[in-house]
Amino acid sequence: MRTVLRSTLPVLAMVLLISTGSMAETVAETYKTTCAMCHGAEGKGDTALGKNLHAKDLTSDEVQKKSNEELSTIIVKGKENMPGFEGRLTQAQINGLVKFIRSLKK
């Protein structure tokens, strides 16, 4: 039994590391396909479309001071010119985007 456990633990550790890396790529991909068109790669809202729609600078204090719940609600329901993504993103994707937005802090 101990031999099986010893040989299984390294495999489980590798699977966990690989899945964690995949999640990070998935969040970046979700941001790229869902948000970057307006907010830009760095979240500044400085794309042509973002400027036209007055997209928020995700690195700004105005955005960063919002709670995670507020950011989640904005992603789901939309706000001003930003469309909501209710039914198009999973809760895991929304949570990932909130964490991604936090990582953009100035």
- Assess if residue 84 is contained within a domain: yes
- Assess if residue 58 is contained within a domain: yes
Distance of alpha carbon 44 from alpha carbon 2, whole angstroms: 53
The enclosing domain of 38 has a CATH number of 1.10.760.10
The total number of structural domains in the chain stands at 1
Distance of alpha carbon 3 from alpha carbon 104, whole angstroms: 45
pLDDT at residue 15, rounded to an integer: 41
pLDDT tens, residue by residue, 6-64: 555 454 444 444 444 445 568 999 999 999 999 999 999 999 999 999 999 999 999 99
Residue span of the structural domain in which 99 resides: 23-103
pLDDT at residue 13, rounded to an integer: 45
Distance of alpha carbon 106 from alpha carbon 104, whole angstroms: 6
Amino acid at 26: T
- Assess if residue 13 is contained within a domain: no
Q: Give pTM, 2 decimals.
A: 0.75
- Assess if residue 54 is contained within a domain: yes
- Assess if residue 18 is contained within a domain: no
